[in-house]
Structures are given as C-alpha cells and as structure tokens.
Amino acid sequence: MEFFLVQLLNSLSYGLLLFMLSSGLTLIFSMMGVLNFAHASFYMLGAYTAFQLSRYFGFWPALAIAPFLIGILGALTERYGLRTVHKFGHVAELLFTFGLFYLIEEIVHLIWGRAPVDYRIPESLNFTAFSIFSTSYPAYRVFMMVVSMGMLLGLFLLLKRTRIGMIIQASLTHPEMVEALGHDVPRVFMLVFGGGCALAGLAGVIGGNAFVTEPGMAAAVGSIVFVVVVFGGMGSLPGAFIASLFFGAIQTFSVALDYSLLDVVAKLGVSLAPDSGWRQLLSITIAQTAPVLPYLLMVLMLIVRPTGLMGTRET
C-alpha cells in the first residue's frame, strides 16, 4: 500500500510534466500539421537556461525568465525557419525540425559540455512535505504538481475564456475564415509555436532539477512525449492529458515491478529446464520490458485506431 501510494504520486507528477510538453506539441501539430521533432529540445534548453540563470539570480527569477526566453526562441524558429521551408511541403518541415533537434543537442554539447550539469533543487523547497507511512515525500514534487496544475488551469482559461484563445481555436479549424475576418493568422501561428515552446521550457525548468540535466535528456523525454501525443490522438488536448497521465503511470510503475512470467509459470507448478529458450524468454521481468512498452502500445494503437484515443484526424 505504501509502495502503491508513493508510486501513484510520483506517476502523477511525472504525468503532469509530460502533459506540459505534450500540450504544446499537440497544439502546434493541430495548427500547422507538423510534428515538431525538436519540441523536447526546447525542454532541454529550458533546463539549461534555468541552470545558467539560477547561478546568477537564483531559482525564482530563473523560473520566470527562462520559459519567456525559450518562447521567444521558439517564435523566431517558426518565423525564420519553419515558415521558410513551409513552401517545400510537409516532408521538408518534418526534416527541418529533425535537423533542429540534432543541432540543438550539439549546441548544448558546445556550451555546457557532455557531462550532466549541477542544476539543483532550490534550498527553500528542499524539505519534506509530508510522509506516507514511513516514506517521506519531498516538497519539490508537490511544487511541480502545483505548477503543472496552475499551467493546466491557465491554458484552459486562455483557450476557452479569452479573445485570443477564441481566435486560436478558430484558426485551428478555419484559418481562411479567420484571415478573411482580418486577423493575422501567420502571427497567430508564431504565437502558438512560441507559446508551446515556452511551456516546454517551463517543463524543463521544473523538471531539469527534479531529474537530471544532461545533453541526452531531449532524446529520452522526446520519444515518450511523441508516444503520448500519438497515443492520445494528434491535435487533441484531452487525449494528450489522459495519455500523459497513463504513460506517467506506466513508466513509473513498470520500472518498479520485478516480476516475470516465469514466476507465474512457477506458481502454476510448471518447471522449465534451466537452459531452454523458453525460460530465457519468460524470465524477462516487467521492469525489463519498461523501455519497450510505450512504443509497443503506440504501434498497437496506430494499427487498431490510427487517430489515437481522442483524435479526429490522421495526418
């Protein structure tokens, strides 16, 4: 029970962090029809920028400034990169973001080196929030959840309750009509791209010190976020939310479960020869399958239901 509760809280905080990334990615996708390969690279840049800023100004100013800077960087990328390749078609756009992913990783190598940097949880948040039975739960995890929830609420209010949110929603489905009404749709695109990148940056600021800030973090998180977006349904925010929590749970729980099919077979009273191929196959534990599980689920989902959980379109 204790194990279950702690893991549940961990998976919730991880899932919410995933949603911060996947929400931006899925918004950008529904707008431009482009899957941004470099999205997690902005997450990484957020973490590194916050690390650099927190050395000079401390954590709290970094929390405010870093996402803003990443947002501007994202907007510039859209304006001068993606918009240029747009005329060459979707393949060129996809390749551009792929190249960007590659490039940002190398730039991080160039500036901060290949080893992880010492980006730490601020002292003011480094205490125990509460304890579940005998396990003490760190306050920073709670803080992460609060920030994610706040972001979730803010995003919801922005999209549903404000004028700019209405224009964004309209541009998603009827860009020509919005343009005819006198709105600058390309600028809306730029804002959404920048906003999505800012969210990724924010996730990097609060996730970078909870986990580890190193050049490989973009590739590690990027593929999971990608799975989340595809699984939840491309372009669907509710789908991304459900899938984020789901994969947050899968990743957290499966790593911790050290059972294999061999245990089940043994319970049934069947014993296998120690060197048979079946034994080798059955002795794979759930923890060992953890890295494969998300991709397997994604491929299965794409076969059974190509639009994902709640998506409405395929491309």
Describe the crossing of helices 185-208 and 39-57 by its angle, rounded to 10 degrees: 60
Q: Work out whether 228 is an interface residue with another protein (CB under 8 A).
A: no
Q: Work out whether 113 is an interface residue with another protein (CB under 8 A).
A: yes
Q: Work out whether 273 is an interface residue with another protein (CB under 8 A).
A: no
Contact pick of 63, 107, 167, 286 for another protein (by CB under 8 A):
107
Region from 110-118, 148-156, 247-255, 262-270 binding another protein, contact rule CB under 8 A: 110-118
Q: Work out whether 295 is an interface residue with another protein (CB under 8 A).
A: yes
Contact pick of 5, 58, 106, 263 for another protein (by CB under 8 A):
106
Q: Which two tokens stand for residue 296?
A: 């397997």
> How many helices (H) does the chain have, and how many strands (E)?
15, 2
Q: Work out whether 103 is an interface residue with another protein (CB under 8 A).
A: yes
Contacts (CB under 8 A) with another protein, residues 32-51: 33, 35
3 state SS of 285: strand
Q: Work out whether 220 is an interface residue with another protein (CB under 8 A).
A: no
Q: Work out whether 52 is an interface residue with another protein (CB under 8 A).
A: no
Q: Which two tokens stand for residue 294?
A: 């998300």
Spatial contact of 228 and 240, defined as CB atoms under 8 Å apart: yes
CA atoms within 13 A on the CB side of 17: 30
Please identify, using beta-carbon distances, which residue of 112 and 137 lies nearer to another protein.
Answer: 112
- Of all helices (H) and strands (E), which one includes residue 35? none
Please identify, using beta-carbon distances, which residue of 103 and 153 lies nearer to another protein.
Answer: 103
What is the closest distance, in whole angstroms, from the C-beta atom of residue 275 to another protein in the complex?
11
Please identify, using beta-carbon distances, which residue of 19 and 101 lies nearer to another protein.
Answer: 101
Please identify, using beta-carbon distances, which residue of 90 and 183 lies nearer to another protein.
Answer: 90
For residue 15, report the phi and psi dihedrals to the nearest 5 degrees: -60, -40
Q: Work out whether 291 is an interface residue with another protein (CB under 8 A).
A: yes
Q: What are the Cα distances from residue 26, in Å, to 74, 97, 101, 150, 191?
A: 15, 15, 17, 19, 14
Q: Work out whether 150 is an interface residue with another protein (CB under 8 A).
A: no
Please identify, using beta-carbon distances, which residue of 96 and 253 lies nearer to another protein.
Answer: 96
What are the b/e assignments for 10-45, b being 16+ CB within 10 Å? bbbbbbbbbbbbbbbbbbbbbbbebbbbbbbbbbbb
Site size with another protein, rule: CB under 8 A = 44
C-beta pairs of 185-192 under 8 Å, 24+ apart in sequence:
186/83, 189/31, 189/32, 189/78, 190/75, 190/78, 190/79, 191/75, 191/164, 192/27, 192/28, 192/31, 192/168
Spatial contact of 11 and 3, defined as CB atoms under 8 Å apart: no
Interface pattern 63-102 for another protein (x via CB under 8 A) = ------------------x--xx--x-xxx-xxx-xxx-x
Footprint of another protein (CB under 8 A): 33, 35, 81, 84-85, 88, 90-92, 94-96, 98-100, 102-103, 106-107, 109-113, 219, 223, 226-227, 230, 280, 284, 288-289, 291-292, 295-296, 298-299, 302-303, 306, 314-315
